[in-house]
Amino acid sequence: MKKVASIDDVEISYETLGEGDYPLVLISGWGTPTARDAWRHQLSLASQFKLVLLDLAGHGLSDKNREVYTMQLFAQDVRAVVEKLDLQNAILIGHSMGGPVIMETERLISHRIKGMIALDSLFPKPSSIYVKRDEEIIAEIETQMLDDFSGFILGLLRSWINDKFDPVDVEDIEQLPMTLDQRSMISAFNEIQRWNMFDILSEIETPMKCIVAGNSCPKEDRPEYDRLFDAVYLEDLSHLLLFEDPVTFNEVLIEQINELSK
């Protein structure tokens, strides 16, 4: 693993695998372990593409000394890696919180980006974490995390896990809370709830596609999502679609990458 300094001198851990004309910059969601762990079922794509794996600040092997973990600063982490590697025609792929991060990154370095793919992210409903929430709600959730951080994380994870998951993945996922930096995670979760996709959506010029777990977006919500994004829905899958059905997910991901590469 290599490191590069972000805009605030926080050290960001990254690595590259494979080769290809359109490097894929893989950006994990909130509360993930190392990027290599989070994208374990996608590492095989290195036989076709150049993969860039990075740990956002506060996650994995990157520094955890940032005061506040905003989506804009996460984008600076991505920018630092992309510029260090002098990537051109990059395709940014962000899962969950990675959706806001790729949008904010596009605003910084659109000239280096060929396209973007958001994975189970950017839901436009008023109750969504991607649409700015009231401070009272943010404070309530922060209190829950402070009272029982591990329980809060496990509750979320277990709501997405089912018998389609590999037992080894389940065991690793359920160990996740013990590997996370609580202060960093709480700050990042607060800040994603303060972020608002509609503040910048109209500014995005780079082509973007979305892959959405069917269970995350009921059919009655899809007309609004489709109005905003070019989306593909993977029926009967949940938020952790990268783990739940990696074969199907990878096939669809490659299709979307190829569409953006044209």
Domain that holds residue 22: 2-261
Give the total number of structural domains in the chain.
Answer: 1
Here the CATH number for the domain that contains residue 189 is: 3.40.50.1820
- Full-model pTM: 0.98
Nearest to 234 by CA among 215, 218, 257: 215
For the chain (262 residues), the mean pLDDT of every run of 10, in chain order, is 98 98 97 95 98 98 98 99 98 99 99 99 96 98 98 96 97 94 98 98 97 98 98 98 98 98 91
- In the chain, the amino acid numbered 210 is C
Contact, 256 vs 232, CB < 8 A? Answer: yes
Say what the pLDDT of residue 241 is: 98
Say what the pLDDT of residue 147 is: 98
Say what the pLDDT of residue 262 is: 87
Say what the pLDDT of residue 107 is: 98
